[in-house]
Amino acid sequence: MRYTRILRLLTAVLSLTAILGSAPGQAQEYPAKEIKAICNFPAGTGADVFVRFFSERLSALAGKPVIVENRGGALGNIGTEAAARSRPDGYTILISPGSSTLAAATHTFKKLPFDPVKDFTPITTLAKLGFVLTVDAKAPYKTVADLSAHLKAKGDKSSYGVSANTGLVSGELYKKLAGLKVEIVQYRDTQSSMTDMLGGNLDYMFGDPVFAVEQVKAGRIRALAVTSGERMSALADVPTFVEAGLKDYGELIAWWSVVVPAGTPQPVVAKLEGWFNQIVKTEETKKFLNNLGSDPFPGSSQSLAQLLKHDIEKWGEYAKLANIQPQ
């Protein structure tokens, strides 16, 4: 009888060990199958190119396919919600412009179908980029001080163009700190803004670096300052706003990040964090990001959590400054 009990106990222990050892998400086995990377914008967009670049390199490190699933719509909210509702096992990740789809979204939408903090576990940051203050290349302004002097003389008859909330906030910060009275003209896209500026209908514009770098190289526009805290590699000769004399401008950047559903096992989070930071630190990635007007932005789960919290608070201030009405 005693031997029977011992045998049953031993069998139970072995069965439990087998179950635990085969549980999905265990660090020693992850990944045991393909990983799905959600892109919350349509195929063929700049976001799609970005997600596919990192997914291919993650696949090489993880030893399993990483399949990109495009879930565009609602300015990123549809894909972000899909990621939030996925199983927290490490087999669904969200690679996205987190500064807008997570941080800013809390103030640009009346109600989100997800909680940017509670519904996700941060993995790390990937890239960062600042917005660019530009003028017509034929204009006489060579510095921010030159432009500010012109705008003050022109008064409320001056105007600037933007096509995105980050550009709008960038412009309103400049107006406030330089003491300007400038009218805002909002456009559906940056190209339309530039066309009006080159036609003499705008004094300046704020654009994303991908567009700005291309147009600066083509000699159509001149970049006077960037909103990032450090100079951008793709525009190394262009000063930051702080360097240009607006000491209180600080730093306003957009950033890309990786998150997974809340509850994902910590060993899996650590593996993903390590892999993505390996990718970010390569020369290949640096070159890829510079072509997009961005710079590498390695980090950690902890640093991303702090950045997200910080930027959610800052976007509350930005929304008020730029009078951004939630939709």
Q: How confident is the model at residue 15, as a pLDDT?
A: 40
Gap between the Cα atoms of 325 and 144, Å rounded? 29
The pLDDT of residue 6: 41
Global pTM exceeds 0.75? yes
- Structural domains in the chain, CATH included, are 33-128+255-321 (3.40.190.150), 132-235 (3.40.190.10)
Q: Which residues pair with 70 in a beta bridge?
A: 39
Mean pLDDT in order along the chain per 10 residues (327 residues): 43 40 55 97 93 98 98 95 98 97 95 97 97 96 97 94 91 95 92 94 92 92 96 95 95 96 98 98 97 95 98 95 91
Query: What local confidence, expressed as pLDDT, does residue 85 receive?
Result: 98
Sign of CA dihedral 116, 122, 123, 128: positive
d(CA 79, CA 74): 9
Q: How many CA atoms lie within 13 A of 157 on its CB side?
A: 4
pLDDT score recorded for residue 201? 95
The pLDDT, as a whole number, for residue 10 is: 39
**pLDDT at residue 28, as a whole number:** 59
